[in-house]
Structure formats: C-alpha cells, structure tokens
Amino acid sequence: MNAEEQTCIKNDLTGRVFHSPGVPKECPVANKPSADDIHWYVLRVTYSRELALKNYLDLQGIESFIPMHYEIVVRGERKFRKLVPAIHNLVFVRSTRVQLDEIKRVKALTLPIRYFMDRETRRPLTIPERQMQSFIAVAGNYDEQIVYLDATTVSLKKGDRVRITDGIFKGVEGEFVRVKGDRRVMVAVQGVMAVATAFVHPSIIEIIE
C-alpha cells in the first residue's frame, strides 16, 4: 500500500489504519470543494440501507463513517461473529451542503436521503471536526467492551470533560462517566448517539479546563 492509499483510511487522531466497511474513507477527488465549506453531517436512510449509501459515497470519493460492532449470527446450527452497523439508517458524512443536496437529488428515487436536523436551529446538524475524530477513534475500535448509548441516555449522563493521554484511545476527548459499573470516556454526538470506551484508568485521564 502506498502513502497516498494509507491517507485514505488513516484516523487523524490515533494514526491507526482501518479496513472494515464502516470506517471513514477519504480519497483524492477532482475539484474538491473548499475546506471552509466542509462539515460532518448526519444523513438518514430507510430500510437499513446505510451500507448501500456508504458504498455509493465511497465510489464518489466522499468521506463517511458508520459505527460498527460485532454480533453473534446464527444460521442453522452454526454461530459466527459478524461485523454489522451498531445503529441502522444513519451515516456520518464529511462533505459540503451543496454536494449533499445534489446527491439527495440524484438518489431521490432509488435511495431517499434526509438530513438529521438540529432541533434548536432547525437546520441540518453539523458535528465539529475534533468531536467527530474522537467519536471515530472510539467507535472504530470494535472492542466488545465498547458501549453505545442512545440520545435519551446521553442526556442523563454528565461528567468532567477529559482527554485520554495514553493507550489505544490516546487523544480522545469526551466526558468521564460511569457506565455499566466502569469508568469510561463517553464521546457524544448530541441528539444522535454516543459511544463509551472500555474501562479507562484515572491515571491516563486529564481534565480539560
């Protein structure tokens, strides 16, 4: 794999390289929009077609992310682990509003797409880059001890704002909370979902003032 290919799948925060269908993918494209116009958006699809949308975005060279986890699947007498979306019908996409509006128009009949809206501004929700990189660093790990939380649960959990200083989650920023009896760092996309790390020892936690 050459250096250009590595940058397409390397997480900016951790430096780790991922290979599954749910992780971010960013490749050079012609006439790439100005960086000032690019944001992380949350798109909705129907009938659990989030992977179909991600495959389309990959072909267009548009960076996207789907949180994934392993589930036990039973077929006949066989049991095996399968990597599947942790939440259905949602895709996180890094692009411009103009570009996404055009994709919505093109795919209107075959793959209807809607924005996840910010309830306060009543505009499409955008996620800060740093927050999204922390979310990807945790959700892209696939550790079985990672815990996904829905928006209702997230609103009930408040903790100190912290940064992890060592280990596989080094650099991740979130809230230090107790989930399922363990102290973890929770990274939330407000109003959408959150993911909490496996147990994190307080010795590798620093408070963000």
**pLDDT at residue 151, as a whole number:** 75
Q: Residue 165 belongs to what domain range?
A: 143-209
**Residue 6 and residue 95 in one domain:** yes
DSSP state of 96: -
How far apart are the two ends of the chain, measured CA to CA in Å? 41
**Residue 73 and residue 89 in one domain:** yes
Contact 183, 199 (CB under 8 A): yes
Tens-place pLDDT, residues 136-178 = 999 999 887 899 998 777 766 778 999 999 999 999 999 999 9
For tokens 């996840």, the residue is 116
What does R_g of the chain's alpha carbons equal in angstroms?
A: 17
**pLDDT at residue 10, as a whole number:** 46
What CATH number does residue 45 fall under? 3.30.70
Q: Say how many domains are in the chain.
A: 2
**pLDDT at residue 68, as a whole number:** 94
**Residue 115 and residue 13 in one domain:** yes
Distances (CA, A) of 121 to 83, 94, 126: 35, 20, 11
**Residue 59 and residue 125 in one domain:** yes
Exposure on the CB side of residue 18, measured as CA atoms within 13 A: 24
Ranges of beta strands (E only) in the chain are: 39-44, 63-65, 68-75, 78-85, 90-95, 114-115, 126-127, 147-150, 160-164, 173-179, 182-189, 193-196, 205-207
Sequential pLDDT tens for the chain (209 residues): 444 433 344 454 544 444 445 555 444 444 444 445 899 999 999 999 999 999 999 999 999 999 999 999 898 889 989 999 999 999 999 999 999 999 999 999 999 999 999 988 999 999 999 999 999 999 999 887 899 998 777 766 778 999 999 999 999 999 999 988 899 999 999 889 999 999 999 999 999 98
Q: Which of 125, 142, 159 is the last residue of a domain?
A: 142
